Chain A
Amino acid sequence: MGNEQLVQLQNQMGQNQDQDQDQYLTFFMDNEEYGIDILSIQEIRGFDATTAIPNSPDFIQGVMNLRGTIVPIVDLRLRFGLDQIPYGDITVVIVVKTKLDDGEKIIGMVVDSVSDVYSVNHNESTRAPDVGEADNRDFLKGLVNVGEKMVVLLDLKKILTFN
Chain B
Amino acid sequence: MSIDLSQFYEVFFEESFEGLDVMESELLALTPGDTDAETLNTIFRAAHSIKGGSGTFGFSTVADFTHELETLLDQIRDGTREVETYHVDLFLKAVDCLREMLNALKDEEEPNTAVADEITQKFLAILNDNGNAEPNDKPGDFGLFDDAPGALNEDPTAAATSSVESEVDDDSFGFFDDAPGAPSDEDADEGFGFFDDAPGVPPDNGAGIGVEADNDSRKRWRITFKPEAHLFKTGNEPIFMFMELSDLGEVSVCAETDNLPLYHDLVADDSYLHWQITLISDTDKDKIEEIFEWVLDDAEIIITCDSEVSREVDDQQSPSTTVSTDSQVLAPVTEQQSITPSTIEPEPAPQQIVTTPTPAKSQPIPEIKPQVESTPEPVSKKPAKDENAAPVVAKEQKKTAEATSIRVSIEKVDSLINMVGELVITQAMLSQYGEGEFTENRRMLMLEGLAQLAHNTRELQESVMQIRMLPISFVFSRFPRLVRDISQKLGKQVDLKLLGETTELDKTVMEKISDPMVHLIRNSLDHGLETPDERVAAAKPATGTVTLNAFHQGGNIVIEIIDDGNGIDPQIIRAKALDKGLIDENDDLTDQELIDLIFLPGFSTKAEVSDLSGRGVGMDVVRRNIQELNGTVEVESYLGQGSTFTIRLPLTLAILDGQLVTVGDNTYIIPLVNIIESIQMTPQQLNNAGGDLELFRQRDEYIPILRLYQIFNHEEAVESLTQGILVIVESDNGHIGLLVDDLLAQQQVVIKSLEANYQRVEGISGATILGDGTISLIIDIQGIINLAGLKKQHRNKMRALNNHDMVV
Contact = CB atoms under 8 A, between A and B. Distances in A.
A54 B754 contact: no
B753 interface: yes
Contact of A52 (B666, B756, B763, B773): B666
Contact of B712 (A54, A64, A70): A54
A35 interface: no
Interface stretch (B446-454, B532-540, B564-572, B774-782): B774-782
Given A53-B758, A70-B758, A63 B713 contact: no
Contacts of A103: 756
Contact of B761 (A54, A65, A69, A102): A54
Interface residues of A, number: 25
A55 B763 CA distance: 10
B775 A51 contact: yes
Given A51-B775, A54-B711, A70 B761 contact: no
Interface string A95-132: 00000001101110000000000000000000000000
Interface string B745-787: 0000000111011110111100101000111110000000001
Nearest to A52: B666
B714 interface: yes
B769 A68 contact: yes
A103 to B, nearest CB: 8
A52 B758 CA distance: 13
A15 interface: no
Contact of A53 (B753, B764, B787): B764
Secondary structure at the B interface, as helix, strand, loop or mixed, is: loop
Contact of A70 (B711, B773, B775): B775
Most A-side CB within 10 Å, residue of B714, B754, B759, B762: B759
Contact of A54 (B753, B756, B763): B763
A109 to B, nearest CB: 13
Contacts of B761: 53-56
B774 A51 contact: yes
A155 B752 CA distance: 29
Interface in A67-89: 68-72
Contacts of B767: 51, 63, 70
Most A-side CB within 10 Å, residue of B757, B763, B767, B773: B757
B775 A65 contact: yes
Most A-side CB within 10 Å, residue of B665, B762, B769: B769
Contacts of B787: 55
A53 to B, nearest CB: 6
A105 B757 contact: yes
Contact of A51 (B711, B759, B763, B776): B776
19 contacts: A51-B667, A51-B767, A52-B665, A52-B714, A53-B754, A55-B713, A55-B761, A56-B761, A60-B758, A69-B757, A70-B752, A70-B754, A70-B756, A70-B757, A70-B775, A72-B758, A102-B759, A162-B759, A163-B759
Given A68-B752, A70-B758, 15 more contacts: A51-B666, A51-B767, A51-B774, A51-B776, A51-B777, A54-B711, A55-B762, A55-B787, A69-B752, A70-B754, A70-B756, A71-B757, A105-B756, A105-B757, A107-B757
Interface of B: 665-667, 711-714, 752-754, 756-759, 761-764, 767, 769, 773-777, 787
